[in-house]
Structure formats: structure tokens, C-alpha cells
Amino acid sequence: MVAETGLKQTLALVLFSAPYGNQYADHMCRVAERALGKGYSVEIFLYGDAIHSHLIEQKPKNFFNIGEALTRLGDKGATIYSCLICAIARGYMREFDEAKKVYNSPITLPFVKFVTVQGFVSMIKRADRLMMFGSS
């Protein structure tokens, strides 16, 4: 959506729940897709067990595939962040790049950006609208 000023509005979405224990992740992905279709800039933050959403090679048999949905959203321009501390605690971060001073994960979607709580706060400050999905 383009505001009267001509600037694109930003929708921030936060997911707290694991991808397959309920439908919060499905709903968040569908809201993000619709928002992108309406011209919004979309930023997504995955927190707590929601970080399992960006694990590569997910093969849910009877569920909406959240990894594939996040990939489609990223391809359409959504920015997807993951809590760095949550990822470290759950064993996703396996390498630290000394030169770049960043962690790398060979088992997560490559376009996901790992940030601390400061990155989360920055995302919220940029947002015109904020929606939260799930519970911790």
C-alpha cells in the first residue's frame, strides 16, 4: 500500500510459535503474501521456537510447508529476520565468520538475516503496522 505521501508502508510481522504445532505460521505467511500483493513492504521476525521455520529441507507431509512459504516471500521481496540468540540456543549457528563478525548456519534458509533484539527493535521502529502471531 502506498500512503498519500507516495511512500510504501511497512508491515512488520512477528512469529513466536513453532511452524507445525498450530496454524500461526500459516496465517502469518498468508498475511505477508497478501500485504506484498497490496504493495506493502514486509518484514518478518522469527522468535523463540518460530526459528524452526527457516530450517532447510523441511518435508511436512500433511501441513502447509513454512520453509517453502518463507522462500516465496523472500523471492517476492519480504525481509526475514531470525533471533540470533534463539538460533544459537537451539544449535542452528554452527560457524562464526571472524572476518565478517557474523554467524553462519549451513542448515537454515540462506536469505534469513540473524539479528539480536536491537534488530527487532529497529524493525518495529520502521513499521507502519505490526502484527504478532502465536505465543511463546
Q: Which domains does the chain have, with CATH numbers?
A: 10-133 (3.40.1260.10)
Q: Look at strands 79-83 and 95-97 and give their pairing.
A: unpaired
Percent above pLDDT 90 for the chain: 74
Per-residue pLDDT of 36-59, as tens digits, reads 999 999 999 999 999 999 999 988
CB atoms within 10 A of CB 75: 9
**pLDDT < 70 positions in the chain:** 1-6, 136
Residues 6+ apart with CB under 8 A from 84: 93, 103, 114, 115, 116, 119
pLDDT of residue 33: 98
Report pTM: 0.90
